[in-house]
Amino acid sequence: MPTLRRDFESRDDLIAHYREQFPEAAAVSDWVSDTRGGRDAAEALLDNVDPVEYGRTRNHLSGAVTRLSPYLRHGVLGLAETRDAALAKVDDPSRAYKLVNELAWRDYYRRVLAEIGDAVWDDREPYKTGLDAEDYADDMPDDVTNAETGNDFVDGSVRELYETGYLHNQQRMKLAAYVVHWRRVRWQAGAAWFLSHLLDGDVASNNLSWQWVASTFSHQPYIFNQENLRQWMGGRFTGDSVGGGSPFRGEYDEIKARIFPRA
Ligand SMILES: Cc1cc2nc3c(=O)[nH]c(=O)nc-3n(C[C@H](O)[C@H](O)[C@H](O)COP(=O)(O)OP(=O)(O)OC[C@H]3O[C@@H](n4cnc5c(N)ncnc54)[C@H](O)[C@@H]3O)c2cc1C
């Protein structure tokens, strides 16, 4: 079995090598994320983790999230060592609760995957949106994948996904909700699209999170409104669309009546 080449003169050399090895991927997108691989980069990030600040700010786009996911996904860091590093930074374990709790979600999704295998691509339950699976489109709309919807949150997040291979959890939830509920696309199409761009792309966390948003792995669909979007986006995205208006405007009951007309 051939081993992977490890000796590179420079990062550019490494990037050129992988472009050559994977021409199909390079043809889809020529962007290279700034995220560095390897144990040193992972340990530097782990050193910087602040579990208390994380608990306080993690839902904000500019919050103290760890960005450890690519390293956890590819086995550069273990979940247990990450948990232990977080606990070692606090005098009372309850102060690291939020972070340990999120690590536990990753563990939970892996365990579900171990139970169900390829069925992770099947609806775990029916949609609770008043709609049937057949009511949802099979493919991603081009204006979404081309970042040409005209909505600043959607297009900005899609570009960020392509350029960095990373999205904050709030962006993932809201972009997934937009795709499934506003554009009425089957979650499987969105999940496959995310997996082909995320550096931490993981069929367990990704597919089950998409199913949670869709309501096929939860008791209700995840939706949001303009106010909620602005609350967490730290001024970076407003949710407004070119030409005015926003698909996210209104109270929750009004939005539900628009996007789930048969519920
Ligand atoms: C639609 C959607 C798709 C997602 N796809 C993936 C994916 O492909 N791979 C992936 O690792 N995560 C996925 N997540 C979960 C979560 O968004 C990411 O793990 C997290 O945003 C990664 O950033 P971070 O390392 O800065 O997270 P932090 O908030 O700093 O959390 C630390 C670690 O805890 C784990 N974690 C945090 N939140 C979650 C969560 N909600 N579910 C599971 N584990 C979590 C991750 O391993 C993460 O690295 C998805 C979430 C949604 C809503």
Q: What are the residue ranges spanned by the domains of the chain?
A: 37-117, 133-259
H/E element, 88: helix 79-88
What's the fold here for domain 133-259?
Answer: DNA Cyclobutane Dipyrimidine Photolyase, subunit A; domain 3 (1.10.579)
Residues pairing with 224 in the sheet:
none
Q: What is the pTM of this model?
A: 0.96
Measured CA angle at 37 (ends 102, 89), to 5 deg: 40
Look at ligand 1, atom 26, and give the residue with the nearest C-alpha: 67
For 167-226, write each residue's pLDDT tens digit: 999 999 999 999 999 999 999 999 999 999 999 999 999 999 999 999 999 999 999 999
Pocket perturbation via mutation, ligand 1, pick of 61, 205, 222 by most ligand atoms within 8 A of CB: 205
The matching CATH number, chosen from 3.10.20.30, 1.25.40.80, 2.70.70.10, 3.30.70.920, for 37-117 is: 1.25.40.80
Per-residue pLDDT, averaged over 51-80, amounts to 97
Tally of CA atoms within 13 A in the half-sphere of 157 that contains its CB: 26
Look at ligand 1, atom 36, and give the residue with the nearest C-alpha: 102
Atom of ligand 1 minimally distant from the CA of 210: 1
Atom of ligand 1 minimally distant from the CA of 58: 29
Q: Is 205 in the pocket of ligand 1 (CB under 6 A)?
A: yes
Q: What does the DSSP 8-state code read for residue 91?
A: S
Q: How confident is the model at residue 109 (pLDDT cuts 50, 70, 90)?
A: very high
Residue type at position 228: N
